[in-house]
Amino acid sequence: MTDAGNSSSPVPSQGAAFNSAASNSAGFYIAIEGWEASGKSTQAELLAGHLDATLSREPGGTQLGRSIRRMLLDDGPIPTDRAEALLFAADRAQHIQEIVRPSLDSGRHVVTDRSYGSTLAYQGHGRGQSLEELLWLSEWASDGLLPHLVVLIRVASDEAERRLGPERDRLESEPDEFGDRVRLGFDHLAAADPERWRIVDGNGSIDAVHQRVVAVVDNWMTKRALATKRAGDNKRG
């Protein structure tokens, strides 16, 4: 496996400032991330069912997003690296405003199949574009709202390769080294922001992985509730 192409760049701080716009929401915004064929779409659906959350995805969670998704993944004009990053950002902007923020504001949790982590892993580590600039772009597109929790589903590369099969879209058809950089990029991102990111082993049955995801999310929610209560107690005391 080659090292991530962008590992020499600092991993940008995905800090609290980015969630300033989300601080008044009652619902939690949870992203499921991973390399191709990691089973994340199935796990996002199961988690949304478990939490009675709004289920969505990037790219393609909105009508506009579905057009952008076709442009990005189907056969057609190949975007430059910057155009690709901007198209994912446009999808994100629409998704946040149309789906994510209204759901959070109404008190519902949102589970999204991919989010800004994919931009940093694919366009950043995979394509070698600046992580700082891509994080800024994601923040701008989402008006400051990043997922509160990111669950990275990890499967071994040969297992992902086996699950992918011969029919592949544009990004799935990238050479092996691209996949190596993206997978390692995800690991770097998770390591750099342990408050927000959790890693789940994606090997095993769908149900076994779901149980792991639920354990991680429930544990994170409990910790978050305790921290919120403590902060409230401190304010009153």
Contact residues toward ligand TMP (CB under 6 A) are 36, 57-59, 73, 88, 114, 118-119, 122-123, 171
Closer by beta carbon to ligand TMP, 161 or else 221: 161
Tokens in use for 208? Answer: 């076994």
Q: Report d(CA 224, CA 237) in Å as an integer.
A: 20
Pull the structure tokens for residue 20: 């300033």
Residue 157 tokens read as 């590369």
Smallest distance from the beta carbon of 140 to ligand TMP, in angstroms? 14
- Nearer to ligand TMP by Cβ, of 70 and 224: the residue is 70
Nearest CB to ligand TMP, comparing residues 109 and 113: 113
In whole angstroms, what is the distance from residue 47 CA to residue 40 CA? 10
CB of 97 to ligand TMP, least distance (A): 16
For residue 37, the minimal CB distance to ligand TMP (Å) is 8
151, 32 contact by CB (below 8 A): yes
Cβ at position 120, least distance to ligand TMP in Å: 8
Q: With respect to ligand TMP, which residue has the nearer C-beta, 159 or 221?
A: 159
Which CB atom, from 71 or from 221, has the smaller least distance to ligand TMP? 71
Which residue's C-beta sits nearest to ligand TMP? 122
CB nearer ligand TMP, residue 22 or residue 93:
93
d(CA 53, CA 63): 20
Residues 6+ apart with CB under 8 A from 89: 119, 137, 138, 140, 141
CB of 88 to ligand TMP, least distance (A): 4
Cβ of residue 57: shortest distance to ligand TMP, in angstroms?
6
Tell me how far apart the alpha carbons of residues 114 and 121 are, in angstroms, rounded to a whole number: 11
Cβ-based neighbours of 154, under 8 Å, separated by 6 or more = 34, 35, 38, 183, 186, 187, 199, 200, 201, 202
Q: How is the beta sheet containing 110-113 ordered, strand by strand?
A: 54-57, 110-113, 29-33, 149-154, 197-201
